[in-house]
Amino acid sequence: MQLTLIKNPDESKSDVYKIARVVYAETHATSLRAVESLTSMIANIARTSGRSYADIVSDTELFPALNLASASHHLLATDANERGLQMCVRVAMRMMRGALPDTCNGATCFHHSDVIPPWATSRGYIADIDGLLFYL
């Protein structure tokens, strides 16, 4: 008996879940506002840099949760049926359709309010949204 692997021809679905998992790990889905803001920041980066969404959400410098040592790293493997992750999926789908407004004022980088990275000390943040500080 020979088995054939059937793949979903719509590769954009995998990007949606990659984006959603990173956004979930960074925001813990604490609020729709935080999820929309971080997701719109990803769209801003894609628009200004020409990078793909998959490349952006793989950037360990930009998203601390991608690092194994991060306390939020385990959230990347959250069950797909978890409510907060599903909210992140819906927001990521809106972004990919171009239906997500820029709720972070054009920001292209962020950090959590409980950590001040060296790059942030000489810059002023443009938005503080539910514990996430956004910068141009």
Q: What is the pTM of this model?
A: 0.88
Tokens for 2?
Answer: 């020979």
User: CA quadruple 71, 72, 77, 80: dihedral positive or negative?
Assistant: positive
Q: What is the dihedral of CA 103, 107, 109, 111, to 10 degrees?
A: -50
- Rounded Cα distance between 135 and 62, Å, is 12
| CA 31 from centroid of its chain's CA atoms | 14
Report pLDDT for 14: 85
- Mapped onto helix, strand or coil, the DSSP state of residue 109 is strand
pLDDT value of position 21: 97
Sheet holding 109-112, edge to edge: 109-112, 132-135, 127-129
- In contact, 89 and 74? CB cutoff 8 Å: no
Nearest to 86 by CA among 11, 23, 9: 23
| pLDDT reported for residue 4 | 58
Instruction: Classify residue 123 by its DSSP letter.
Output: S
**Per-residue pLDDT in tens (0 to 9) along the chain, 136 residues:** 566 555 554 444 689 999 999 999 999 999 999 999 999 999 999 999 999 999 999 999 999 999 999 999 999 999 999 999 999 999 999 999 999 999 999 999 999 999 999 989 888 889 999 999 999 9
* Residue (of 108, 132, 133) closest to 43 by Cα position: 108
